[in-house]
């Protein structure tokens, strides 16, 4: 339990930061202070909090677990394309959102959509779609917390208690600190896991006898040599992942964070340093995940490798329930923690475990974003602010934080899935399909609210269809073929459409719907268009 005590000490620190932020309220508008920190974040806090909010359990536990099963290709799938697309989207879209928010007082993306397209209830539909698509991302944080504390404590803290502890801590400092507390905690957490990630890489490397020998052993074995190539992923599947980072700037918490910058120039260093931060996080996580295939002396890892081997050699003779059980046993979401537990001294494993927990808990900004959307796009829009006042709006937002945390925790316990697959199939794919909304609102004069509605409904319907399809059809199975080509297939990792991830047709169809429906419907008034497109 010694490493667990370090983690609990860390959790106490983050609670203190949130409460301290609560006491530092400034400004005359409680809502803007709670939800946007009065648009006053400085350069250092803006960079690290913006980056930290995008590096959740998906980036640490999910990437290492995916690399454990698929190899170094994991880095190419996500980190390489994200390091280019995310900074580019911050430069082209984030800066424009910041300028419009500063000029018109927007707090949420839907406020921008409502004003830009002169729509009311359609904005409510978009709010509901965005909220539903963000819930899987929040669930990832709860799952990551449960997984981390279970592994760090050597199984003494059950998954359900670990998830509850993390959910409670996040709820407390978001409840009290709002955006200021969330930004400060994210800055602290990002600094922590950037430092401890490098230490973990060094300590585990030394414990394994050097990464050079580990890699050579992997290359020498026919069963593991493919982990150091792109052999396990087809070119089309690899190409599909370039669509995933489109989701980043569309996440409400990312857009809301863009609105918190004190000055436009804060984006400059953020765009430059973001790829470097990506390298510092993803490279150690992916490399350690791959190297773990060599760590057969670790009992927990050896059991995972045996389950994977059994699944590969006996899949045809196993029942669907047996295959599901073996996939769960071979999953690598806790692989980093298993390596730390075996190779690091107890005190150091505790410190490094706290660093991993820092990344796992980055779901705070998603919870705050949904609270902000509910307060601004539902409560305030339907005259709740006018009737009950701005303080009541903040109280409503805080109550929503509690309710949302309970819902996410319950779903995480009922429907556990690998973190990497959960994020890619639902949260990332859905928000990538919403990209045409943001681009059209900012850069296309002819876009209309009906085009936006069509794209939003398509994104939601696509994610629901994928979820239903994967719950009904067992993997692996080809459902539909065209001319000998697999048009629709259920794979162990999810769904494939003509060898592509579903995100590709989702984005393409969403863009076409935005264009076609907008051209068929009436555009907003000239006065509205001139406000957005006249210098």
Q: What is the pLDDT of residue 334?
A: 82
Q: What is the pLDDT of residue 124?
A: 94
Q: What's the burial of 477, exposed, middle or buried (CB within 10 Å: 0-12/13-18/19+)? A: exposed
Please report, rounded to a whole number, the percentage of residues in the chain having pLDDT higher than 90: 26
Q: Among 168-172, 271-275, 441-445, name the one with the lowest average pLDDT.
A: 168-172
- Preceding peptide of 266 cis, ω within 30°: no
Please give the mean pLDDT across all residues of the chain: 85
- Residues 360-389 pLDDT 10s: 666 678 888 888 888 889 888 888 777 877
Token look-up 């991993």 returns 356
Grade residue 416 by pLDDT with cuts at 50, 70 and 90: low
Top mean-pLDDT range of 82-91, 232-241, 379-388: 82-91
Does residue 118 come out as left (phi exceeding 0), alpha (psi in the -120 to 50 range) or beta?
Answer: left
Does residue 355 come out as left (phi exceeding 0), alpha (psi in the -120 to 50 range) or beta?
Answer: alpha
Can you give the CATH number for the domain in which 224 is found? 1.20.1730.10
> What's the rounded Cα separation, in Å, for the pair 358 and 194?
10
What are the residues whose beta carbons fall under 8 Å from the beta carbon of 1, sequence distance 6 or more?
153, 154, 156
Side-chain half-sphere exposure of 373, counting CA atoms within 13 A: 29
Range of the domain at 456: 2-444+452-533
Comparing 1 with 318, the larger pLDDT belongs to: 318
Length of the chain: 535
Grade residue 267 by pLDDT with cuts at 50, 70 and 90: very high
Number of domains in the chain: 1
Over 60: is that where the pLDDT of 26 sits?
no
* Element of type H or E holding 309: helix 299-314
Q: For the sheet containing 477-482, what is the strand order? A: 477-482, 485-491, 494-497
């Amino acid at each position: 339990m010694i490493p667990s005590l370090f983690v609990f000490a860390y959790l106490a620190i983050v609670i203190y930061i949130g409460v301290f932020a609560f006491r530092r309220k400034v400004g005359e508008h409680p809502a803007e202070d709670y939800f946007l920190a009065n648009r006053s974040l400085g350069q250092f806090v803006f960079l690290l909090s913006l980056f930290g909010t995008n590096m959740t359990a998906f980036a640490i536990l999910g990437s290492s677990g995916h690399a454990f099963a698929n190899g170094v290709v994991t880095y190419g799938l996500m980190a390489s394309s994200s390091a280019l697309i995310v900074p580019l989207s911050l430069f082209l879209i984030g800066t424009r959102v910041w300028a419009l928010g500063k000029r018109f007082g927007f707090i949420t993306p839907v406020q921008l959509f409502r004003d830009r397209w002169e729509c009311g209830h359609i904005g409510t539909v978009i709010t509901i779609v965005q909220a539903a698509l963000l819930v899987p991302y929040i669930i990832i944080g709860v799952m990551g917390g449960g997984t981390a504390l279970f592994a760090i404590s050597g199984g003494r803290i059950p998954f359900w208690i670990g998830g509850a502890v993390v959910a409670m801590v996040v709820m407390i400092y978001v409840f009290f600190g709002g955006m200021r507390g969330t930004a400060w905690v994210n800055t602290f957490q990002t600094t922590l896991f950037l430092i401890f990630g490098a230490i973990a890489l060094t300590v585990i490397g030394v414990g394994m006898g050097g990464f050079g020998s580990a890699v050579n052993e992997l290359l020498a074995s026919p069963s593991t040599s493919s982990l150091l190539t792109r052999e396990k992923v087809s070119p089309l599947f690899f190409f599909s992942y370039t669509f995933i980072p489109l989701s980043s700037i569309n996440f409400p918490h990312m857009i809301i964070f863009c609105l918190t910058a004190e000055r436009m120039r804060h984006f400059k260093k953020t765009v430059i340093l973001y790829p470097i931060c990506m390298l510092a996080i993803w490279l150690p996580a992916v490399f350690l995940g791959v190297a773990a295939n060599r760590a057969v002396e670790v009992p927990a890892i050896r059991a995972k490798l045996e389950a994977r081997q059994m699944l590969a050699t006996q899949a045809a003779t196993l029942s669907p329930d047996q295959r599901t059980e073996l996939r769960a046993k071979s999953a690598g979401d806790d692989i980093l923690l298993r390596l730390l537990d075996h190779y690091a001294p107890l005190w150091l494993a505790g410190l490094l475990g706290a660093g991993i927990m820092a990344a796992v808990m980055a779901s705070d900004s998603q919870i705050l974003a949904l609270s902000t959307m509910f307060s601004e796009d539902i409560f305030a829009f339907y005259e709740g602010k006018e009737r009950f006042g701005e303080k009541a709006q903040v109280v409503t937002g805080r109550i929503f934080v509690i309710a949302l945390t309970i819902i996410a925790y319950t779903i995480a316990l009922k429907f556990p899935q690998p973190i990497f697959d959960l994020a890619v199939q639902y949260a990332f794919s859905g928000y990538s399909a919403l990209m045409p909304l943001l681009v059209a609102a900012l850069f296309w004069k002819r876009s209309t609210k009906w085009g936006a509605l069509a794209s939003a409904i398509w994104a939601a319907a696509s994610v629901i269809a994928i979820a239903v399809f994967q719950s009904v059809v067992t993997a692996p199975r080809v459902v539909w073929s065209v001319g000998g080509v697999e048009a629709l297939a259920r794979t162990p990792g999810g769904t494939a459409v003509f060898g592509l991830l579903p995100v590709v047709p989702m984005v393409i169809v969403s863009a076409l719907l935005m264009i076609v429906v907008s051209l068929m419907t009436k555009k907003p008034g000239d006065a509205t268009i001139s406000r957005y497109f006249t210098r």
